[in-house]
Structure 1
Amino acid sequence: MASQQTISDHREGAEVYNGGSTCKQKAQELLSSMNLPKGLLPLDDMTELGHNKSTGFVWIKTKNKVQHRFRAIGRMVSYDSEVTAFIENRRMRKVSGVKSKELLIWITISEIFVNDQDPSKITFATPAGLSRTFPFTAFEEDC
């Protein structure tokens, strides 16, 4: 699995957390510190969260694949049992393990970013360059 190799490449020097409540708290703190909505990763059964501050690489492992419905926008999102990304201020690049359901098909999400001109909007992009923008508040904690 390619993502396993990536995680091992970035593990050295990374902060690694284990256990559901600790991982969830650290994920929310990380998202918040990067000016991203805290509810972006609604994963309750995390087993491991790692963040390499020098490269920006972050990974999350969960017990199982998770599907979550963001009620504010009526969208179903699927999170694989392993999600990886490079995180920086207002942006997650090279995202793996996240898909959004559009009509009847699952679309891979590769980038998530907050609009610099309008921070009330967050955009999700595919590897093919297609994107959708939603209100930032749709991904806050209570969604």
Structure 2
Amino acid sequence: MASNKQLEDKRAGAEIVYGPEDCYRHSIDLLEELGFPKGVLPLQDLVECGRVRETGFVWMKQKRPYEHFFVGSNTRVSYATEVTGYVEKLKMKKMTGIKSKQVFLWVPISEMSIDDPASKKIVFKTPMGIGKSFPITAFMTEEEKQKHLEQVNE
């Protein structure tokens, strides 16, 4: 567990927002900026979100842990009270606070990336480097899916 001093150092110079509406908007803006679908981090009751642009460190705090079932990938995911990571375009790495249920085990997720945007796949990796890819559409909001379908059909 990181000491308070280490945590303060990581968060030095951060842009921080508080409250459900501002945090939701901040998290959606971040996902869009990075190139991820808006539904990939469906956190609930956010109370604090922060970002240190110089290092890419981000965090999102919820009132309580949350489990979400992604129908498109047939996957149950658990989000801790605090989710952290380092971000760059098309990648979030050194993630903490996210686990995916695989058969009977909860497996930590430490990275998500879109290695080849043309493939329309998002890859999730464990701390051991084992990865699994899914179609990006599995993590899109209904609004994003609608836009995606309109673009495909043009």
Equivalence for 1:125: 125
Structure 1 residues 7-16 or 88-97, which shifts more? 7-16
Conservation of the 8 A alpha-carbon contact between 1:3 and 1:84 = no
CA-CA distance at 1:10 after TM superposition: 2.5
Deviations 1:62-114 (A, max 9, x none): 11010001111111000000110001000001000000001111000011000
Distance, in Å, in 1 between the alignment partners of 2:88 and 2:106 is 26
Aligned length: 143
Q: Separation in 1 of the partners of 2:139 and 2:4? A: 28
1:53-68 to structure 2, matched below 5 A, reads 53-68=53-68
Alpha-carbon spacing, 1:103–1:3, altered in 2? closer, same or farther (3 Å): farther
**Alignment partners' CA distance in 1, 2:137 and 2:39:** 9
Give the structure with the larger helix fraction. Answer: 2
Contact 1:57-1:87 within 8 A present in 2 as well: yes
Confirm or deny: 8 A CA contact 1:67 1:77 kept in the other structure: yes
CA–CA separation in structure 1 for the residues paired with 2:4 and 2:138: 31
CA RMSD of superposed structures (Å): 1.7
Taking the aligned partners of 1:77 and 1:117, their CA distance within structure 2 comes to: 23
Structure 1 gaps, min length 5: none
Q: For residues 107-122 of structure 1, what are the structure 2 equivalents within 5 Å? A: 107-116=107-116, 118-122=118-122
Q: Deviation at 1:130? A: 0.8
Secondary structure of the residue aligned to 2:38 is: coil
CA distance in 1, matches of 2:3, 2:30: 21
TM normalised by structure 2 equals: 0.86
3-state SS, counterpart of residue 72 of structure 2 = coil
Extract unaligned runs of 5+ from structure 2.
146-154
